[in-house]
Structure 1
Amino acid sequence: MINENVQKLKNTIRAGRAMHGYLVTSADCDETVPEGEPSSTAELLRQCAALLLFGSEKTEMLEFSPDFYELNGGAKVEQMRMIRQELSKKAFGGNNRVVVITDAHMMNDSAVNAMLKMLEEPPEGTFFLLTGIEQRILPTIRSRCQIVRLGTASAAEIGAELIRLGAAKSEAQRFAAQSMGSLTRAKRLMQDEAFQKLRQNAIEALLDIFEGKLPFKWAKSIGRDRQAAKESLGFMLAACHDVLNKKTGAAGGSSGGMRLNNAAGALSFSAIHSAVIKIAEAEMRLSSNAGVNPILDRLIIDIAEAISD
C-alpha cells in the first residue's frame, strides 16, 4: 500500500532535498502496536533513514551503522542527552546521521527540552525522523518539523494485504472494516484472539452504558493496562461512529448487531456527540500518570450522565 505522501517523502530524500526534521503521523502510530514490535510508520522511518545513510531503502544495515540512532519517546532523558553529545562529533561515515524517535508524544518535559536544543541548531548532515500522535506533541516540536500526514488506508487496501498474508476473503473484509484504517490494527485483529476480545468487550461496555447500565466490571477487567485502555477507547469511538452511520443511514460500520441498531434509534445526535467528547477526554487523561481504573470508572459515569441530559 503506497501512500502518495510516502512517495513524496522518499523522492525528496532521493533528490537530496530532505529537511532536517520530519514528524510522520498516521493511523499506525502506535496505539495499536504491542511493546517491542515496530509499527508500519516506524518501519517507514527506518526506510527513510536507510535512504539518507545508504541511498537504499534496505534497513538491514541500520543496526550496524554508528550514524543511526533510534529510541522511543518514553526513553530516559539521559539517552537523549547522550545522543546530543554524539551528534556534536563528526559522523563516522563522513556524511549524514539520522535520529529516529518513535512515539514522540511520550517524551517528558526534560526530553522535550533536550530534543528542542537539537532541532533548533541541528548539526550539519543530521536528520530527525519522528512518529507520534500529532495532537499530543508540543507545538514547539511540531513547528520545527515538516509534518507528513499519511492518513488512513482504505478497507479495500487493507483487505488485499490481509489476503496476501493468508486470510480468507471474508475474514480479510471483516478485519479491514474493524481496523479504523490501520493495517497494524487489522493484522493484530487477524492474529490475536485476545485483541479481538478486547474490541468486543469495549463495544459491549459502550452499548451497556447506552442501555442504562454501568459496566464497572469491564473497567476492572482492563486492570492497570494503559495500552489496552487506550485501544479500548479507540474501539468505543469507532462504535460511536457506527451508531451515527446507522442513525443517518450512511454506508459503513463494523460494529453491527441489533444492540447497535437500537442505540441508533434511541439516542439523539447530541447524546452521541456528548459520548464522543467524553471518550476523547478520557483518552487525554490516559496520557497522564492518572490511574487507569479511575479514568475508566469516571468515563462510564460521564457518558451515562451526558446521554441522560
Structure 2
Amino acid sequence: MWHIYGHEWAIEQLRSNIRTQRVAHAYLFTGPSGIGKSLLALRMAQALLCEQQTGDPCLQCRTCRRIERESHPDVRVASMATQASAAKAEEAARQKELKIATIREWQRDLALRPYEASRRILILHDAERLSEEAANAMLKTLEEPPDYATLLLVAHSNDLLPTIVSRCRVLRLRPLPRDQIAAALRARGASPEQADTLAAWSNGRIGWAINLLNDPAAQATRRERLDVFIGLHEADMAAALQWAEQRAKEYRSGDQATVLEWLDLWQSWWRDILFVGANCAEAVTNIDRRATLTRLAQQIPPAAAFAFLQQIITVSQQLHENVNPQLAIEHLVLHFPRSGSWRNVT
C-alpha cells in the first residue's frame, strides 16, 4: 500500500493509471509545502517499478527500498537541495532558482535508456522555481519525451509556465481536514491536546504536522516566535525596529527561509485576529492562544488588522523579488498597529 495519510482520490487515480497501462509521460503534483506531494511522487515511482507490479508499491522489495534510499539507477531526483549540494556554501546560500545547468544534467540522464527497470523516472522538486531558461529547456523535454521515461514534477505553487502545466497530468493536492490530521498524529503517539494543536497549526498539511510532532525544538521555536509577536503589540517603535534589523541580518546572511517562516507565522496570527473578530473561531490556526487573540480582536479594528495582514503579504512577495530586506521589513514594522496607534495604519 501507499502508506500516505489522505489524498485517497489521487492515489486511486495513479493506481488506476498503472493498472490500465495509461501512465502519462509527465505528472505535476501541486499544493502547499508539507501537504504530501513529495511522498506521493516517491510512491508513484515505487509503484511504477515495484517488482510485484500490482499498481501499488509493496515497499518491501529491493527496488522499492532502493528508490526510497535514492540509490536506484533508473530513478533520478533533482531539486534546489541537490543543486545547492553541488555548489560552494556561499554560492548555495544565494541560489533562488533551479538553473538551466540542473535541467541540462537531468536531460542528459534522461537520454540514457533504462539500466535495470522497464522505464526511467525523473523526479523534479521545486518545479515552481525553474528559471526562465530552465523552464524553456524543460518544456522541450515535455514536448518530446522518450517513450521509456516518466517525469514527476513537484511544485509548491501554480507559478509555472502554462505550457508546462498543459503538458502534464496535474494532481492538485488539497489540505486535509483537521480531524483527519489529528487522528493521524494520535496514531503516532501524540496526546489528544497535542494532536489537536498541531492539526490546527498545520492548516491541512499532514507532512508538516508529522515533522513538527517529531521535532519538539521546532514546536518550542514556533511558540517563542508567537511570544515575540504578542510582545510587539505593546513594544515601542525602537523594539519593533530592532526586530526588523535582526530579520534583515538573517536574510542577508543567507537564512532567507527563516525570515520567510517568521512572516508566514505573522500572517497566520493576523488572520486569526480577523477570524476571531468575525466570530469564525473554528477557523483559528493558533488555538493555543485563543485568550490573547480574543483580547486583541476586541482592541484592533478589523480594517487595521486587514491592512497590516496585506502589508505582511506584500513584504513576503517583495523579498521573493529581491528587494532590499532591511527597507522592506522596516517599512512593515513602521505600519505595525500598536495600542493607541490604529490611526497610523494605512
TM-score band, normalised by the shorter chain?
A: 0.7 to 0.9
Q: Give, in angstroms, the shift of residue 15 of structure 1.
A: 2.3
| Count, aligned residues | 300
Q: Flag the 1:112–1:302 CA change in 2: closer, same or farther, 3 A.
A: farther
Task: Using structure 1 for the length normalisation, give the TM-score.
Answer: 0.83
TM-score by length of 2: 0.75
TM superposition shift of 1:303: 4.9
Partner of 2:133: 110
Are positions 1:229 and 2:234 aligned together?
no
Q: Provide the rounded CA distance (Å) in 2 between the counterparts of 1:307 and 1:263.
A: 17
Q: How does 1:1-309 map to 2 (within 5 A)?
A: 1-3=5-7, 4-27=9-32, 29=33, 40-54=36-50, 55=53, 56-57=56-57, 58=59, 59-62=64-67, 63-73=70-80, 75=83, 76-93=99-116, 95-207=118-230, 213-214=236-237, 215-222=240-247, 223-224=250-251, 225-252=255-282, 253-255=284-286, 256-290=289-323, 292-304=325-337, 308-309=345-346
Mapped partners of 1:244, 1:306: distance in 2: 18
Q: Percent identity?
A: 25
CA contact (8 A) 2:124 2:152 kept: yes
In 1, Cα distance between the equivalents of 2:118 and 2:236? 62
Partner of 1:35: none
* CA 1:194–1:110: 2 relative to 1, 3 Å: farther
Q: Would the alpha carbon gap of residues 189 and 95 (structure 1) be closer, same or farther in structure 2, given more than 3 Å must change?
A: closer
**8 A Cα contact 2:274 2:306, kept in partner:** no
Secondary structure at 1:153 match in 2: coil
Local SS of the residue matching 2:146: coil
Deviates more, 1:52-61 or 1:210-219: 210-219
Moved over 6 A (4+): none
Cα pair distance change 1:276/1:127, threshold 3 Å: farther
- TM-superposed CA distance for 1:285, in Å, is 2.6
- CA distance in 1 between counterparts of 2:28 and 2:189 reads 33
Unaligned runs of 5+ in 1: 31-38
Q: 1:169 to 1:144 in 2, by over 3 A?
A: same
Q: 1:306 to 1:145 in 2, by over 3 A?
A: farther
- After superposition, the C-alpha distances for 1:131-151 in whole angstroms (9 at most, x for unaligned) are 122233333432332221111
* Counterpart-to-counterpart distance in 2, 1:278 and 1:85: 44
CA distance in 2, matches of 1:52, 1:277: 44
| Cα 1:294/1:104, change in 2 over 3 Å | farther
- For the aligned residues, what is the CA RMSD? 2.8
Kept after mapping to 2: 8 A contact 1:99/1:128? yes
